Amino acid sequence: MLVTSTLHTTETTTSPEHRPDALLLHAPDGPDAAWWRHAVIYQIYPRSWADADGDGVGDLPGITNRLPYLRDLGVDAVWLSPFYRSPMADAGYDVADYRDIDPLFGSLSDATALLARAKELGLRVIVDLVPNHTSDEHEWFQAALAAGPGSPERERYIFREGSGPTGDEPPNNWLSVFRGPAWTQVQAGDPATGAKGQWYLNLFDSKQPDLNWQHPQVREEFHDILRFWLARGVDGFRVDVAHGLVKRAGLPAWDEASVMIDDHDGAGEREAIPTNAAPMWDQDGVHEIYRGWREVLDAANPAGDPAQDKILCAEAWVEPIDRLTLYTRRDEMHQAFNFPFLVTPWRAGELREVIAQSLRAADSVGAPTTWVLSNHDVVRHASRLGLPIGDPRPNGIGPNDTQPDAVVGLRRARAATTLMLGLPGSAYLYQGEELGLPESTQVPDDARQDPAWFRSGKTVLGRDGCRIPMAWEADAPALGFNDTGATWLPQPQEYRELAVDRQTGVPGSTLELYRTLLGARREHDLGTGGLRELPGYGDDVIAYVNEAHDGSHTAVLVNLGEQPAPLPSGRLVAASGELLGGALPTDTAAWVLLD
């Protein structure tokens, strides 16, 4: 059901005063800041957004048809997950041809039409790029298999002789992120000739062989891919596994699991071991690669017009935050997802700490902080925040697992988003979060498609639950995803009451809350504002003042305590839930334009 609230525009009760001498966490950007420094970008997972041809899988024409919805929502840009030609072993993150569209999604002409329509609507388009690995059906990898050991073709990937007397054991003990060995054997050892068994590295699925980024052909190929899509009008690239391209020399053994980032139970200090301790992640050599990419993108904007900037955004699951910041130095990437913020438990002190650390680290290199709460790889935050605080972050939720508290989860999710969109910097939204869509916890085992499910022996649920097709119309086939009722993953019953048509124009609906927040964020320049702490509150209340360059001050508050918190004097712009006697209840956030 919907959580309703009334978004007041009346004067609030008097409470703690704003003091301009309060601790400054972040200085404001200038009024002419480049678009990407404050943009709100909406992620579309093409399989699950809109299906124009009715085959049960979303496609590019379906996206194009629904773009006006995003203009009306109030976002600045769209990020499209992969649509390239692929055998779909990992839902398109196994790319066979980076310069073509998979027929499942449409054609290059459909991509051209999508880009043109987005431009008409004032929406920029960012596309996914997958540089750590290709598909095993990529022409380069097929040539490598045919050419044999020691060939130039194999040098573009990471082939090694195996260990053991005949080389029939993996070259080292690395494990795949998707579980199981990170090596796949392609040739057995031959005791008669002394030839050792041959293996290739796959940090993810065996159908995703890792590229050798020390090879100059690999580097030039991706420069050309960047130019190909820039010439077709894209505005930037989200870079998949950006921290994984370079492996430590010698590929030394690693006795820990190969994970993108450790789960934290929030019970104390986070692990002090930096991500780059693992020989497959966050090695310093990646930065030289991205400096080369930045040169390619800068060349696409020869006039240096900030409005025409083409951008790079790193998916880099890197800790500590200071390591993450290295990706956004002025000659590298423009943005890097703030995953430390995403994984922080719902505790006021830890949220305040990660926000302060994030702003301080980004400011040290002149970059914006890029906030995010949900995406296609993690449990949706409307469900994640409904789990017991302090439990490890799950990789999927099944029917036999602890079920999230749907009411608490949605209330906290609305508050978390209100906090996030009130902070300076850029922010990413994941499709359907503006409806309050929860994780689907009832996906049948025989419907699961995530490779982690199969590689783990069907013990790791994976990410299917956050990738369910979008809910557009409550009473239409497939909830308006298409006209046939076919869906590649089943839609849970609770999505029906959360459909776009059930929330549009309904005061207090999650969709209308997002529209209000996005409109007010733009009106009050919150993305480019400075941020100060707002004194006078207890430890359980997060309280800031976002200071715009026009002199206006907007208080951003979240109450994580048990008692209602008073609001400062001013006009209430938005609230994530109903107020209680003019005060902010538990797990509720608000923006107040201060007097």
* DSSP-based three-state secondary structure for 414: helix
CA atoms of 54 and 222, how far apart (whole Å)? 34
Distances (CA, A) of 307 to 27, 311, 534: 22, 11, 33
CA atoms of 408 and 185, how far apart (whole Å)? 48
Could you say which of 240, 282, 433, 450 is catalytic?
240
Could you say which of 29, 128, 210, 315 is catalytic?
315
CA distance from start to end of the chain = 36
Distances (CA, A) of 570 to 15, 232, 359, 573: 10, 47, 26, 9
Residue 390: which region, alpha, beta or left (left: phi > 0; alpha: psi -120 to 50)? Answer: left
Catalytic (active site) residue 240:
yes
CA atoms of 339 and 347, how far apart (whole Å)? 16
* DSSP-based three-state secondary structure for 97: strand
**What is 135-155 written as a DSSP string?**
-TTSHHHHHHHHH-TT-TGGG
Look-up: residue for tokens 């950007």? 29
Looking at residue 254, the DSSP 8-state letter turns out to be -
CA atoms of 334 and 327, how far apart (whole Å)? 8
Answer for the pair 482, 47: CB distance below 8 angstroms, yes or no: no
Nearest to 498 by CA among 441, 575, 578, 438: 438
* DSSP-based three-state secondary structure for 119: helix
Catalytic (active site) residue 315:
yes
Find all residues with CB under 8 Å of 91, minimum gap 6, and list them.
Answer: 47, 81, 82, 449, 450, 467
Q: For the chain, percent helix, then strand, then coil, each to nearest 5? A: 30, 15, 55
Distances (CA, A) of 210 to 140, 244, 496: 12, 9, 41
Looking at the DSSP bridge assignments, the partners of residue 26 are: 531
Helices (H), 74-211: 108-120, 139-147
CA atoms of 290 and 336, how far apart (whole Å)? 12
Helices (H), 460-506: 500-503
Distances (CA, A) of 179 to 30, 455, 460, 463, 579: 46, 6, 9, 14, 46
- Could you give the residue numbers annotated as active site? 240, 315
